[in-house]
Chain A
Amino acid sequence: MKHDAIVIGAGANGLVTAHLLARAGRRVLVLERQAADDGAPDAGWVPPQLVSGLPGLDVRRPDPWIAVALPDGGRLELSQDLARSTEAIRRLSPKDAARWPAFCARMHRLAGFLEALYTAPPPDVESRDLSELVRLALLGARARRMGKQAVVDLLRVLPMSAAELLDEWFESDALKGALGAGGVLHLRQGPRSGGTAFVLLHHHVGSLPGVFRPPRSNLRQELAGLPGVEVRRGAAVLRVTVRDGRATGIVLANGDELTAPVVVSSADPRATLLGLVEPGWLDPEFAHAVRNIKCRGVAARVSLTVNRDPGFATLAVAPSLEYLERAYDDAKYGRVSASPYLEARAEDRRVDVHVQYAPYALADGGWDDGRRRALGNAVIERLALHAPALGPAVTQCEVLTPKDLEDRQGLTEGNAYHGELTLDQILFMRPVAGWGRYRTPIRGLFLCGAGTHPGGAIAGGAGRLAARAILKGAA
């Protein structure tokens, strides 16, 4: 059977693109290198435009969304309910509790503006096109309608460091640690680096006021259950075939060739453009820009199997901004953090731990089993300090370093966001300057992954906008 479009990768973005193309009457084939889906939930806000068409979509908003271990043994729990969080904060600092509602309102208004930016293609500030200019003007008008304070916040807060922002508002180390960690997720920067206030807001988009971590959903599974799209698993794409500067299909690792006039890759931009395309087809300057996409993986995933309740549903080790900053210092010089930031979530005899920083590139040699084991043990030990029940309950420990994520899932440098969310790599600069509209210099080859606008931690956001761009281009 001939296909109108081939989509590489059956992640949330790939599947969203595939289904939106199919809904427009295209015959779509999705190729996925993993033989089976691991069933892990999709982390990230699901744009409302996608939700309406998916009746079985289950968006989970953990409550509390974070529980930071306190030095005295207690925990600071921040809930979906603002009033409840305020009470929890009051036990640490009445002053912070008094400021919490105002802070949440200010941040939520900014996140609302980001939401508007994230559900449309990135603004093209260089465009001479009238409709684009009108759109830019409307965006400006929208920002101004939010009021003077919000405009100042928008321009002032985004380039700030999360630490500076939080120090302006709060005194409690644990509160600042909990929030500050949201400013460095999957980023090779510490909370004192400029632009991390933006990352904090990025992870706030789509959540209730006072919730600074994206929700999780079953988006991938829900899409996989829908008809209309053919998904072939265990099919690793080796190369995109190009003729006369135009994509004509793909070659699989097993040698099979499949043709289609449109190829859409949900793999990251570096893996797609430098890994799947013959180098000769790209302009050297463009290739240089792609090579320079910063996607330095810094997070490891540790999955623990437990034989009884570990004593928590969620537990974070992020006691202060300085703790996070020192954890980053290690990564800066190519070492695993001696005291890493951890965020653990327990569910059905499984504990998943986000570990940061565990850099992709180590200064003294590479990742090996010994290092993996050491990292796993260090994580269990540190969590057990705050949850004594955990230690003896662990029966199995699996460690996925950024290197493993690259090897298994094809993520360049193991960066889950397909490119760090630094200010120079968002909006019209994502994935590279001037190519923010899902197209590539090769006609018929498109990008639809987290490496494009609006980036990681937004499930299906890029996939949706990419599909729209593809359909618009074809029409």
Chain B
Amino acid sequence: MAPPRSYDAIVIGGGHNGLVHAAYLARASRRVLVLERRPRVGGAAVTEEVFPGFKFSMFSYVVSLLRPEIIRDLQLPRHGLHILPLESTLTPMPSGDYLASWADHDASRRELVRHSPRDAEAYDVYGRLMHHMAHAVKPILGMVPPDPTSLSPGDLLGLLRLGKHFRGLGAEKFHALFKLMTMSSADFLDEWFETDVLKATKSASGIIGTFLGPRSPGTAYVLLHHYMGEIDGVFRAWGFAKGGTGSVSEAIASAARAFGAEIRTDAPVARVLVKGGRTTGVALESGEEIRARVVVSGLDPRRTFLQLLDPKQLPGDLVDDIARFKFRGSSGKVNLALDALPSFTCMPGNGPHLRGAMSISPSLEYVERAYDDAKYGRFSRRPYMDIVIPSMIDPGMAPPGKHVMSIFVQYAPYHLEGGWNDQQREVFGDAVIGALEQFAPNIRSCIRHRQVLTPVDIERITGLTEGNIFQGELALHQLFFLRPAPGWAKFRTPVKGYYQCGSGTHPGGGIMGASGRLAALAVLQDGA
């Protein structure tokens, strides 16, 4: 049977949001085609056998924010989604000491008491507050942002509802939320804790994917994300997907196919076809044209508006807004194939700590100085690193007795002074290993293969503009009704029938899938 040459909807880009979007449309009985440029779906959520026998979650490496309603609606566990918990964090210190947090609350508390009884006391109160905050923010993630400049009844009602939601929090929580939205993570944590290494490790999670340091206002908000992770309905859980992050994408793709969606890989889209202010389909780079009444871009805003369309088809102020939307990728990734396990000076040998995350964030100053380098166009000589060894929990990721290590590195600015090239990439890789060696002296001798990914590599491979892992910085002025541009934050575009569903729209960021789902609801609401 020849596939139909016309579809109800075409989704450009088979990243997790595109796939979620396609699955929801297919579930509503639309004929959907997903077009993916690469040979496999997943975008930045892919598992690849980079070296024979060694499988890596090449880019995105942990799962925490995937929306539970998506897991439920698409029945992802039936399609192979299996999350393995990632429960501990170890922060080695130059003194040979460390700070650890464990799955067992009492063990974590004892550990914290060792550093500061006062902080251990404060930690529980802090945890409760953050937990409440996460609950307060959650409904906003699932909400279509109302436009505060519009006078339409729907927007006014939305604003009113938003106002009511905030007022419903009560003064204490509202004020805490206000602080979280505006403060730097360092300042926010200073109000609670005295242990530097604790503040450093916590604030490091606030800078991931941003071009900001722990002392930059606007980073406190991301602290919440740690309390928002929700897997199988359990709050505050982080995990690996069994089989790597790619298996999340595979599960969503499988669900989409089960609902009837068609997925074509190796099918790069050149442009969106527009006639009389309305989309009629897409043209592939091969020259092939495919018709559809609805076209949805899962790509980032710059590609969605300025590459797939002719900017002349758009209002001038939207073109300006998109042109100034900030990407500035700031992180790199080093994937290591290991012959043996690293041994940390602070906790030598194998142990449960290797099953969790290892955070190279020994002090606030360390992380802030890493940022200083990036500010002036250099990669961090001593970077912040978030390290996991997935093969400890999921042995299938590496040959027997061997391991894979994933190192998320910040900062590696996209706009490197002098530009990135093969040599710079290796110098960067050496800096990462050198910094890690300070805490795990045997690391060099364990390495069998090394893959270094700079923001430029991330852009080249995944298509993410400037290698920004969130499809655009998660800064206050690029969130909610401003994501990606004022007036166009509701997944629609000025071209009729053309929609956006990537992380560059609200709420964006992380393997959340919320943008894909909300966009699908918008498409269906429009009766397409």
Contact = CB atoms under 8 A, between A and B. Distances in A.
Interface stretch (A99-107, A151-159, A364-372): A151-159
Contact of A195 (B148, B149, B151, B182): B182
Q: Which of B167, B183, B376 has the most CB of A within 10 A?
A: B183
Interface string A192-232: 11110000000000000000000000000000000000000
A434 B217 contact: no
Given A152-B149, A156-B486, A159-B476, A422 B375 contact: no
Contacts of B375: 192, 325
Contact of A159 (B184, B376, B477, B486): B477
Nearest to B171: A126
A338 B503 CA distance: 42
A193 B482 contact: no
Contact of A194 (B171, B175, B218, B376): B218
Given A125-B167, A151-B148, A160-B477, A424 B216 contact: no
Contacts of A329: 372
A325 B213 CA distance: 13
A322 B166 CA distance: 38
B365 A194 contact: no
Interface string A418-446: 00001110000100011000000000000
Interface string A159-180: 1100010001000000000000
B482 A424 contact: no
A433 B148 CA distance: 25
Interface residues of B, number: 36
A151 B149 contact: yes
B382 interface: no
Given A155-B148, A422-B183, A125 B216 contact: no
Interface in A318-364: 322, 325, 329, 332-333
B218 A159 contact: yes
Contacts of B170: 126
Contacts of A194: 182, 212, 216-218, 475-476
- Size category, A interface: 20 to 34
Nearest to B212: A194
Interface string B356-388: 000000000100100010011000000000000
Given A126-B174, A152-B486, A156-B477, A292 B326 contact: no
B368 to A, nearest CB: 7
A195 B171 contact: no
Contact of B217 (A155, A189, A333, A429): A189
Interface string A134-156: 00000000001000100110011
Contacts of B179: 424, 429, 433
Nearest to A152: B486
Contacts of B184: 193
B319 to A, nearest CB: 14
A294 interface: yes
Interface in A256-282: none
A424 B186 CA distance: 13
B104 interface: no
B178 interface: yes
A164 B211 CA distance: 12
Nearest to A159: B476
Given A125-B167, A194-B216, A148 B149 contact: yes
A292 B191 contact: yes
A423 B174 contact: no
5 contacts: A125-B166, A144-B151, A156-B477, A195-B217, A424-B182
Interface of B: 148-149, 151, 166-167, 170-171, 174-175, 178-179, 182-184, 187, 190-191, 212, 215-218, 324, 326, 365, 368, 372, 375-376, 475-477, 481-482, 486-487
